[in-house]
Chains A and B, each alone.
Chain A
Amino acid sequence: MFRQTLFTQWKWARLELVFYVLTAFGVPAILINVRPYFGYDSSVTGWMEVSKLGALFFISLAFVCGTSLAAGPWGKDNSGRHIYAMSLPVAWPTFVRLRFLAGATLLAVPAVALFLGSLVAAASANLPATLHAYPAGITLRWYLSALLFYGLAFALQYLAGRSAAKVAVIIMFAVGAVEIAAQLVGFHSPTAALWMLLTSWPGPLDTLTARWMLIDV
């Protein structure tokens, strides 16, 4: 059953996966090798600046991969009014679990590409003695973060159904409105406290505030 689900999701997502694989493999190496053309020298500071630029790419890719792989299967199922899911001889929770695991497995494909791309990038970099490349570390962080984004988008999608996008927008506006109201009234920022809670250990988004550096000390 899992193999069938995985195969179906692979067929749905293979084109975008190819794009993710190419991006994940190519961008680190490109970033490292074209940096002189963008004014980044070979000093330690230059390497750190490039690495920080790479961090933006890693986080963005994790977000895009995770959310798109979560939203895709729901969209397909919903276009068929979930008749396929209901006709299967498994309970709904089991079906959702299979969908979740299949998507999580597919996320490993760009993760492997990212690892290989980072290895190539690290091998092509002539680093100062005090800096090191972390291809395995950054890949592990990337995969876990992509899974987390995937989990968040998947949960939102399957809990809110067709209103998922609406709910996401409402949440964003609500957070903004609460923040503005609190600032006007002179209270301590409630969203800052919430953000701290989410992004500090052991909050779910703790990984976002870590150092996403392919090259670091």
Chain B
Amino acid sequence: MRPRIGRLFAAVAVVVACAWPLAARAQNASAQVADLEARLRSTDIALREARRKVDSVRALPRPNLPDSVVAGALVVRFTTDALGPGGAAALQRAANLSWTDARTVLGASADSLVRGHPIDVRAEYAYANWWQQRQVWLSFQFADYRPRYNSLRAPVRETPARDVLSDLIGALATNGESPKLVLWLGAWMPARPTAPQAWEDVAVDLATSPSTIARACHVGALAQCEAALGLTDAGDELLSWYDADDRRAIVLRAPPNPTADEQVTLHKQCVKQRSDASCIAFLRTRTVPRPLNIDSRRTLFAYALERGGPNAYARLRAAQAGTPVRALLAAASGIDTPTLVRDWRAHALAASPDLVTPSVLQAGVMLGWIALLGVAATRRRP
């Protein structure tokens, strides 16, 4: 009898274990809220614990990096094996180039800025599935200045490594700058000369900006250039940067939150009935877009340093805290802001490209390819 009872008990236990979980009993709303709050609390506790563990791991002494490359005052430390084949040589070339760039833009101040701040390159993590080659990612970070870091996949190559090093030097240069300037620059300043492509981008930005004042700057209204660059106090930015047509064009491309009835109504009134008041009311719920993008501002900043010569950055750092951005730019460049902005605009427009029409060289090379294909076609008889 006993074995049978035992088998029956086991069978029932198996059936119960395999059975679909019973639906939770109905709860009233307050009980559900209490349950959710309890879960939230326990998740929060688990998250804090996980963070504490991560922090404790981060606080552990990191292994020393035995190898390094030096370019001027710039020191980059690493472990040769982590960089991949040819990585150390590529990193040396990259460091030389980015240091030359930094010296060009920041002048002699680059030495004091970078000295004593080595950049560490560490194998951040590696992963591979059974069918995959092992991939190693490297983090680039100042040993003592952590807010910004960049990653590259090993093996290190010259051009991306140069970009990363310049980016980090720019981040270091931004640290300690006037908060107004940092905000105006989007929390990062360039530490390399402006590339020709960047000037082309400024010309395109000026011509295609959604803001009337930026386009007015493009066609020659110099006073508007400063406003478009955010160098003057705009007051109500929505009204001073954009006219009614601009505002409607922005709203047209900014879909409303479908669950917010008021936004949907305002959007419809703005787009369909051309009600500027509705456009303004709608845009008040959003961040007002800048007339020109941050990269255009950065070209002006780099241009100011270039115009100011080797001591421009030192003059910038010597300026008193709270100095307006336009005064900082004037101090760095050594010329008054309207002249600086006028020359910046002229520089940008001179780089304005005709991107549509192929150049004679491009057309010639294309014809060469076409002729080559034509000749290749004669090589085989049917």
Contact = CB atoms under 8 A, between A and B. Distances in A.
Contacts of B209: 44
Interface in A155-179: 155, 157-159, 161
Contacts of B367: 144, 147
A186 B382 contact: no
Given A129-B215, A134-B357, A159 B379 contact: yes
A140 interface: yes
Nearest to A51: B356
Contact of A186 (B128, B204, B206, B249): B128
Contacts of B366: 144-145, 147-148, 204, 206-207
Contacts of A89: none
Given A128-B215, A140-B358, A151 B369 contact: yes
B365 interface: yes
A78 interface: yes
B207 A130 contact: yes
A130 B131 contact: no
Contact of A148 (B248, B253, B369, B376): B369
Contact of A155 (B204, B253, B377): B377
B355 A213 contact: yes
Contacts of A128: 215
A39 B252 contact: yes
A93 B378 contact: yes
B358 A141 contact: yes
A13 B375 CA distance: 23
B234 interface: no
Interface in A180-208: 184-187, 201-202, 204, 206-207
Contacts of B133: 185-187
B354 interface: yes
Given A129-B215, A141-B358, A148-B370, A158 B207 contact: no
A182 to B, nearest CB: 10
Given A44-B209, A144-B363, A148-B366, A97 B356 contact: no
A42 B370 CA distance: 39
Contact of B132 (A137, A161, A184): A184
B203 interface: yes
A78 B382 contact: yes
Q: For chain A, what secondary structure do more than half of its interface residues adopt (helix, strand, loop), or is it mixed?
A: helix
Given A136-B357, A141-B357, A159-B379, A130 B215 contact: yes
Interface residues of A, number: 56
B49 interface: no
Interface string B273-300: 0000000000000000000000000000
B343 interface: no
B356 A141 contact: yes
A112 interface: no
Contacts of A147: 366-367, 370
A211 B376 CA distance: 29
A207 B362 contact: yes
A130 B378 CA distance: 48
A131 interface: yes
Contacts of B206: 130
Contacts of B376: 155, 159
Nearest to A128: B215
Contact of A100 (B131, B210, B356, B377): B377
B96 interface: no
A206 B357 contact: no
- Nearest 5 interchain pairs by C-beta: A137-B357, A151-B373, A43-B249, A93-B378, A217-B207
Interface of B: 128-129, 131-135, 203-204, 206-210, 215, 218-219, 245-246, 248-249, 252-253, 352, 354-358, 362-363, 365-367, 369-370, 372-374, 376-382
